[in-house]
Amino acid sequence: MSVKAQRDEAIAQIRRELRRLINDSGVTQRSIEEKNGFTQGYLSQVLKGHIALGARHILGVLFALGMPPQEFFARLFGGYDESGSQVPLDEIRERMARYDAAFHQLEEQGLVSPMSSGSPPADDPEPES
């Protein structure tokens, strides 16, 4: 599988998991949008793939739902055992370093937006209400 295909699948997987978390939480997308300063319907467009998924979107949803990003990525890509079993701390640190490096590489390639001061990047405008 090519790097592009792996990246695209990982991004699709992140979108699906964010949608699932929102649905399971009982928190409305509108509430998450308000907490993040997004206009109404913006998050829906991001989760459908009409707007590029960025770090600010992922982190905004996770923080609004009270989920640590480390737990989200560990559950999604391995390292989190829902039975409560402990994963060795060194292994978690190593995995998180790999995740951080991979995310940084996606940022450098312009495939995800870095966390910013809260305003959308120029190539990722919020739809007007």
Residue ranges per structural domain of the chain: 3-108
8 A C-beta contact, residue 123 and residue 52 = yes
Q: What is the pLDDT along the chain (129 residues), one digit of tens a residue?
A: 899 999 999 999 999 999 999 999 999 999 999 999 999 999 999 999 999 999 999 999 999 999 999 889 988 887 655 665 556 666 777 887 888 888 888 888 888 776 543 444 445 555 554
CA distance 98 to 112: 16
Give domain 3-108's CATH number out of 3.90.25.10, 3.30.830.10, 3.40.50.720, 1.10.260.40.
Answer: 1.10.260.40
The predicted pLDDT at position 14 comes to: 95
The predicted pLDDT at position 117 comes to: 38
**In which region does residue 79 sit, left (phi positive, over 0), alpha (psi from -120 to 50) or beta (all else)?**
left
The predicted pLDDT at position 4 comes to: 92
CA distance 18 to 22: 6
pTM of the predicted structure, to 2 decimals: 0.60
pLDDT tens per residue, range 43-62: 999 999 999 999 999 999 99
Helices (H), the chain: 3-25, 29-36, 42-48, 55-65, 69-77, 89-108
